[in-house]
Amino acid sequence: MISNAGAASGVPGLSGRHVRRKNGFSPGVIKGLIVVKGSDLVSENRREEGITMSVATDIERIIVQERQLVFDGFNPEIALALGLDIKARAEDMGQAVAIDVRFWERQLFWFAMSGTTADNAEWVRRKVNLVRRFHKSSYRMLLERGGEGVMQPQWGLDYSKYVFAGGGFPIFVEGVGAVGSVTVSGLPGRDDHGLVVEALCAATGADYELLALPRQ
């Protein structure tokens, strides 16, 4: 198990509150919601490049999600519970997704629901590579870099190995950092991202209503 139970909160001025989960997840950490002004996270030159207010709002909220959704520790049992929770949520939605939960060098959970194809596995693979490279959610990368098909040579990214598409999210451990990822494929990218965030909120004890992206 990867953990750092004695570490202080990685966000200045915030302290974690340990929560005992009733759904099989290990205790997580709830941190107070961070209020961030747009100018702090999306620079004016990025706005001049054409980032709309709705995109800027999503980017700001995702950064908050990445700061808030932090585990005290992570192990294969937590990965199993997280993967099964995502599967159950997709079933409740009447949707089919492929689900991957992993440490960077070790896959801990994989399930492709009926209705998915081998192509979903390829989308997952490329999303995982993107999250591992940048330690950011793949949907945030899509929004920050200007769209799914935008892949500039100076970024050093091969489109056969990486993709800007929602659904991949880093697994952060308190005091350690990003140790792996949780990724889904099968829904529109923004919905893939939302499904993962909802499950991570349940796993860490965070309030999904506060962290969810605005409705479109």
Q: Which residues pair with 70 in a beta bridge?
A: 172
Given a contact cutoff of 8 angstroms between Cβ atoms, the answer to whether 100 and 107 are in contact is yes
Q: Please give the pLDDT value at position 4.
A: 64
Given a contact cutoff of 8 angstroms between Cβ atoms, the answer to whether 65 and 197 are in contact is yes
Residues of the chain with pLDDT under 50: 5-50
Given a contact cutoff of 8 angstroms between Cβ atoms, the answer to whether 193 and 182 are in contact is no
Q: Please give the pLDDT value at position 167.
A: 98
Domain ranges within the chain, ordered by starting residue: 10-211
> What tokens were used for 18?
């340990």
The third-level CATH classification (topology) of the domain covering 10-211 is Beta-Lactamase (3.30.450)
pLDDT digits (tens, 9 = 90+) for 25-69: 433 333 333 333 333 344 333 443 445 678 899 999 999 999 999
Q: Please give the pLDDT value at position 158.
A: 79
Q: Please give the pLDDT value at position 154.
A: 59
Q: Please give the pLDDT value at position 13.
A: 30
pLDDT digits (tens, 9 = 90+) for 156-172: 777 789 999 999 999 99
Q: Please give the pLDDT value at position 210.
A: 96
